Amino acid sequence: MTCGLLEKFFPDLKSSRLILAKDDPDLDVYKTNAGPWASRIIMGVKGAERQIAFIDQIAPKGAKVMIFDDNILKFMDCGKAIEAGAQLDELIAMGFNEMERAGAKIWYGAAFGMVAMHEDSRYSLFGQVMDDIERSCRFYEHDGATVRACTWDVSQEERWYLSQSFCRRLQGREFGGQKCPSAEISTAVEGERSRLDDQLKRAHGEWEVERQRLSKKCEELHAKAQSFQDDSRRKEDRLIFGLKMVALGYFLQEELRSLKVGQCWSLE
């Protein structure tokens, strides 16, 4: 799907690479149907959020990287399908230009572009469910800005593989010489939804544990700050009392000195 579109727009595929995960159960299917992408495959890691970190690490620092999901049926700009590679190039260039104008290092549209920074603090930590939101927050915390290309959109498929020939199989035109049974696709989609639901529950659990940990940490810091303030107040009170006693001592000495002088004059 996405690969087929890029093949259509850019026959030479330019500097495109296909990042796969060695733990993917469909890896052999991907490789068998990779077509012109076969020589452009890079074995990455499992998990979308970890895959983004992997891409950032292997790209030269400062390089501009464009990342696409692999289930894109068509790109659209202002609701109209993009039919030529030049249009896609123009949109991508605009995204990176606006990103630089804003002083950001990432921009989002139907896909997203970023600058490879090789900084661990920019990587998502809480799983691939809503990892794009976490990534946006982390980049914003670093740079003070992220950019959104609001006119750019895509049409996506829920179940996907790589090459155009295999996409046709899933769409029912051919599948081992027979029609692709919709029940198999529905089962696969439901299985994926169930898996994502489980991941979302785990992510919520992890967020809750992290929230409680941070809440406890805040309480500890507040208690320490309060203790520090109380200690500082006591030290300040002791210092003021000490200064008052010193001042009183000087005053009494002066009074005693003046009293002695007065006695001497009386004796004379």
Q: Please state the three-class secondary structure of 159-171 as a single string.
A: CCCCCHHHHHHHC
Find out whether 114 and 65 touch, Cβ atoms under 8 Å. Answer: yes
Give per-residue pLDDT as tens, 231-244: 888 888 888 888 88
In this prediction, residue 100 carries a pLDDT of 95
Crossing angle of helices 48-58 and 131-143, in 10° steps, is 40
Percent of the chain scoring above 90 in pLDDT? 19
HSE-up of residue 110 (Cα within 13 Å, Cβ side)? 22
The more confidently predicted of residues 26 and 87 is: 87
Q: Report the distance separating Cα 264 and Cα 262, nearest Å.
A: 5
Q: 139 pLDDT band (50/70/90 cuts)?
A: very high
What lies within 8 Å, CB to CB, of 260 at 6+ separation is none
Mean residue pLDDT of the chain comes to 79
Q: 118 pLDDT band (50/70/90 cuts)?
A: very high
The more confidently predicted of residues 182 and 68 is: 68
Pick the closest to residue 4 from 128, 108, 177, 157 (CA basis): 157
193, amino acid identity: R
Give per-residue pLDDT as tens, 42-64: 988 888 888 899 999 999 999 99
Chain position carrying tokens 């805040």:
218
Find out whether 42 and 126 touch, Cβ atoms under 8 Å. Answer: no
The more confidently predicted of residues 113 and 78 is: 113
Question: How large is the C-alpha radius of gyration of the chain?
Answer: 34
What lies within 8 Å, CB to CB, of 150 at 6+ separation is 109
Q: Report the distance separating Cα 118 and Cα 261, nearest Å.
A: 82
Give per-residue pLDDT as tens, 200-218: 778 778 888 888 888 888 8
Q: Report the distance separating Cα 207 and Cα 116, nearest Å.
A: 27
Q: Report the distance separating Cα 72 and Cα 3, nearest Å.
A: 9
In this prediction, residue 172 carries a pLDDT of 43
Q: Which two tokens stand for residue 91?
A: 């949109």
Biggest distance spanned by C-alpha atoms of the chain: 137
Q: Give the pTM.
A: 0.57
Q: Report the distance separating Cα 24 and Cα 29, nearest Å.
A: 10
